[in-house]
Structure 1
Amino acid sequence: MDFELKTFDLADACRQKCDALVALVTEDASGGADPVSRLAQDARKSGDFEPKPGKLLQAWRVDGVAAKRVVIAGAGDGSGKRVQAAVQAAVGALRTKGVKRLLIALPADAGDEAVRAAVTATAETSYVYVATKSKPEGRELERVTIAVPASVTAHRQAFDAARGTAVGIEFARELGNLPPNLATPTRLGEEAKKLAKAQGFRCEVLGPKEVEKLGMGSFMAVARGSEEPLRFIVLQYRGAADSQAPVVLVGKGITFDSGGISIKPAPEMDEMKFDMSGAASVLGTFRALGELKPKLNVVGIIPACENLPDGRAMKPGDVITSMSGQTIEVLNTDAEGRLILCDALTYAERFKPRAVVDIATLTGACVIALGGVRSGMFSSDDALARALQDAGDAAFDLCWRMPLDDEYAEGLKTNFADVANVGGRPAGSVTAAKFLQRFAGKYPWAHLDIAGTAWKGGGAKGSTGRPVGLLVQYLLSQQDSAAAAKAPRRKAAAAR
């Protein structure tokens, strides 16, 4: 799908030839003389339409409008969140209508936030998975024009960032939706290599022998129960000088999680193909970096394997040795994500990072705590936590900071190793984060638990691509903050 940004007011938009015109109307819209504005005004007076978020008025062949279909969508106060809801409702209503060319006319006072919301909401709502269907039908939208009344130049940066982010989100969704017999650790390594070749990234994919030499005993223990060989993927995006410390993203890549010997219940176990959503989000973020090319350095680390039960699989009671040298007693083999992440977090030290963010579908406890609205965010660094929270708010990809009090680590104590891999049911998402924190003490660190936000179940089952939006926005903010930090020094030098 191609996006373009054009300068049109609603009267101009009415003259554009396309399959459908979506006009966003706010609560305080004064209206105009064009056919769509008149239609909206008449409908409001008669009580047939109110511009609340998600409310729609659909019409066919409106006099004076070149588009076949017209959808008037309520956008409330015109904020980014309300524009997002309006576009989701309108595009959803058009999904089965054979619309290939769509024009979305934003409100007269639309800002960058509305532009970002319109692009990402359109991409999200129009996405259809077809990769493993015999008749790949449903993907209809080919070109989407975002119309803004003001100059295109004023919104270009926000538009380009949103378009690049949308590409990354779709890439992550495609990987997340693939069945586990296709989205194997080997496949993830191949996808990383293809992405690196296409975008000019550095890429290294390590197998079992290389991982063993590194001493990643914790990662290897999880992979032992599967015939699929593990893969340890390292991607590097270089957009700044080599002297600039990188941001490191670590994504959990369990391509299928049966629970191992501590096997999961059968109902909904098929959804455990989404347990590699952290890995998919890292790859999706790198896909967006290839589009946006920000001036910073980013490293992506993905430990990928399956968690299955067989005669070689790790058992409850086993004691394993991590890359850091710390020993771990395995009390529950279904708490495997933290076991592969801890070795990846130790490996991240070699990059001397400015910050490390790990992303994982880690705990059902986080789903209980926050549901599917916000990802759980834990951090040892207040500045990093604020930056991630702000990025999530700006990208409409929300997170919520959770506690990391030392007392929560008490449950991880054991008589037989340095640490246990679980701490009981109470505060399960927090004790999981406390486990990871033991391996992330040499840099600013944050952990995003996306167990509730990475996919949806039921009739809408599928990957959401979250938190690619948050991660991309955070990285772009880091580029901006680095540029801002340099500016005063240049001014001071000039003054001298």
Structure 2
Amino acid sequence: MDFSIKTHDAKTSIATLKSGCIVVGVFENKKLTPEAEALDKSGEITAALKSGDISGKPGSTLLLRKIAGAIAERILLIGLGPEGDVSDKIISLAALCVARVATTLGANDAVIALPLASIKERNQAWGIRATVQVLRDGEYRCDGLKSKKDAAPTGVKKFAFLATALQTADAKEALAQAIALANGTDLTKDLGNLPGNFCTPTYLATAAKKLAKEFKLDVEVLDRKQLEALKMGSFLSVARGSDQPPKFIVLKHMGGKAKDAPVVLVGKGVTFDSGGISIKPGLSMDEMKYDMCGAATVLGTLRAIAEMKLKLNVIGVIAATENMPSGSATKPGDVVTSMSGQTIEVLNTDAEGRLVLCDALTYVERFKPSAVVDIATLTGACITALGHHNSGLFTRHDEAHDTLANELLSAGKATGDTAWRMPIEESYNEQLKSNFADMANIGGSAGGSITAACFLERYTKKYTWAHLDIAGTAWKSGAAKGATGRPVPLLTSFLIHRAALAK
């Protein structure tokens, strides 16, 4: 799928544009957008509205062919609701309509002339990014391991967005960002959808090295002996039951000033989670290949900002392992020592994500970060609390952490990749008390996502930190089973904002 910006002189009617299809909006009450009016020299669009062939309600569509006075072969009308009330949700729905209809057309190219510069509380750049995201999401396929590939989508392959000469520079920047974000999101989906026998810790390390080579990033991969030397006893306790060697991946995009403190993204990379000795029930255990979606998010986000050449220092850290049962696996009741020196009583080996992340969160102290965000499919309790709409956001409550939380929440709202802030309070730490170690790795079923975040928080005292629990948002089950690519849009928007502040 190819995207471009077409600079168009406002004095020249779009009726003169040569295209397989021009997409324009119409409103309820038989009103036309200015772009639709410019095409309606013969009155055919107005007649279609008056006849009721299209209502103008959001999501309604009508395809017209070869209307008099327009050079384009087809005109696609899309309903936008009441005039003057074009919201981001309506434009996102319109983009879905474009994606659906475009696959049914015999045209190779289309011009999108929707009123993207007139979205309430948004701008044209947002409209371009949102539309590209929807179109690319509709094109995505995960049939790489099938001997017979799914039928390739047909229809429109080239989309151009209209912009005036004054709008063109900003529109091109927005489009470049949108394409980079879509590429990063697709990488996260690809990695998440791979089964555990393909996407091993070594595979993730190789993927990071490929990214580093393509975009000239710095990369380092630590193996078991190096992790032992660092005394990462908590992380290694999870890896003990697997034949696959653990990998600790550090990927650096140093696009900012040398003296600027980096933002660090830490991803949980459990490439398959059987639960270990506390083994999971068999039903849907195949979906535990998605337990590395935090790691996939880090790689996808680094790919997006590297393609954008974002002027910001960002370091991605991934702790990758399997969690498997075997004669050497960690047992419930074992006590392990983390890199920080704090001891942990492992009451449940299926609460392994926090054991992996705590050593990674200690390791990143060396970077003296401006902020650290960890991303993990950490708890089923987060799905119970928030469902599949919002990722869970946890952090301490003080000025620095409230600022970080607001940045992340705003980035989520801007992209539709939303999060909801959950509490972290000292009272929840009571549930993590152990008679035999500094803490237990679980705090019972009550408030499970919160006590998991409280566990991680103990390892983050030296910097500003936030935790994103993406257990409910990283993939879909059922007939639509597959990785979603979230929260790459949220994190990429957050980093773009940080880069703008750093100028």
TM-score, structure 2 normalization: 0.90
SS of 1:328's equivalent in the other structure is strand
Could you tell me how far 1:393 is from its partner in structure 2? 1.2
Q: Mean alpha-carbon deviation: is it higher for 363-372 or for 429-438?
A: 363-372
Matches within 5 A, 1:70-85: 70-76=75-81, 77-85=85-93
Q: Does the C-alpha gap of structure 1 residues 80 and 40 become closer, same or farther in structure 2, counting only changes over 3 Å?
A: farther
Could you tell me how far 1:66 is from its partner in structure 2? 5.6
Instruction: After superposition, give the CA deviation of every residue in 1:103-143 in whole Å (9 maximum; x if it has no partner).
Output: 32221644222122111111112212231122334255643
| Equivalence for 2:249 | 233
| 1:87 is aligned to 2:95 | yes
Instruction: After superposition, give the CA deviation of every residue in 1:221-268 in whole Å (9 maximum; x if it has no partner).
Output: 111111111111000011122211000000111111111111112222
* Structure 1 gap ranges (5+): 484-496
| Equivalence for 1:5 | 5
| 1:251 is aligned to 2:267 | yes
Instruction: After superposition, give the CA deviation of every residue in 1:165-213 in whole Å (9 maximum; x if it has no partner).
Output: 1111111111111122111111100000010011010000111111111
Q: Does the C-alpha gap of structure 1 residues 263 and 124 become closer, same or farther in structure 2, counting only changes over 3 Å?
A: same
Instruction: After superposition, give the CA deviation of every residue in 1:435-468 in whole Å (9 maximum; x if it has no partner).
Output: 1101111100000111111111111111111111
Q: Mean alpha-carbon deviation: is it higher for 150-159 or for 433-442?
A: 150-159
1:83 is aligned with what amino acid?
I
1:144 is aligned with what amino acid?
F
The separation in 2 between residues aligned to 1:12 and 1:418, in whole angstroms, is 70
| 1:435 is aligned to 2:455 | yes
The answer as to whether partners of 1:131 and 1:178 remain within 8 angstroms in 2 is no
| Equivalence for 2:62 | 57
The separation in 2 between residues aligned to 1:181 and 1:65, in whole angstroms, is 55
| 1:403 is aligned to 2:423 | yes
The answer as to whether partners of 1:127 and 1:139 remain within 8 angstroms in 2 is no
| Equivalence for 1:282 | 298
| 1:144 is aligned to 2:164 | no
| Equivalence for 2:381 | 365
Aligned length: 482
SS of 1:303's equivalent in the other structure is strand
Could you tell me how far 1:157 is from its partner in structure 2? 2.8
Matches within 5 A, 1:375-386: 375-380=391-396, 381-386=401-406
| Equivalence for 1:419 | 439
| 1:124 is aligned to 2:133 | no
SS of 1:294's equivalent in the other structure is coil
| Equivalence for 1:445 | 465
* Structure 2 gap ranges (5+): 119-123
The answer as to whether partners of 1:397 and 1:469 remain within 8 angstroms in 2 is yes
Q: Does the C-alpha gap of structure 1 residues 167 and 237 become closer, same or farther in structure 2, counting only changes over 3 Å?
A: same
Could you tell me how far 1:399 is from its partner in structure 2? 0.9
Q: Mean alpha-carbon deviation: is it higher for 108-117 or for 313-322?
A: 108-117
| Equivalence for 1:487 | none
The separation in 2 between residues aligned to 1:331 and 1:309, in whole angstroms, is 15
| Equivalence for 2:331 | 315
The separation in 2 between residues aligned to 1:40 and 1:356, in whole angstroms, is 53
TM-score, structure 1 normalization: 0.91
Q: State, as a whole percentage, how many aligned pairs show the same letter.
A: 51
SS of 2:132's equivalent in the other structure is helix
The answer as to whether partners of 2:116 and 2:128 remain within 8 angstroms in 1 is no
| Equivalence for 2:499 | 479
The separation in 1 between residues aligned to 2:75 and 2:281, in whole angstroms, is 48
The separation in 1 between residues aligned to 2:260 and 2:221, in whole angstroms, is 24
| Equivalence for 1:170 | 186
The separation in 2 between residues aligned to 1:38 and 1:457, in whole angstroms, is 47
Q: Does the C-alpha gap of structure 1 residues 32 and 332 become closer, same or farther in structure 2, counting only changes over 3 Å?
A: same
The separation in 1 between residues aligned to 2:423 and 2:266, in whole angstroms, is 21
Q: Mean alpha-carbon deviation: is it higher for 46-55 or for 362-371?
A: 46-55
Matches within 5 A, 1:206-355: 206-355=222-371
The separation in 2 between residues aligned to 1:35 and 1:357, in whole angstroms, is 51
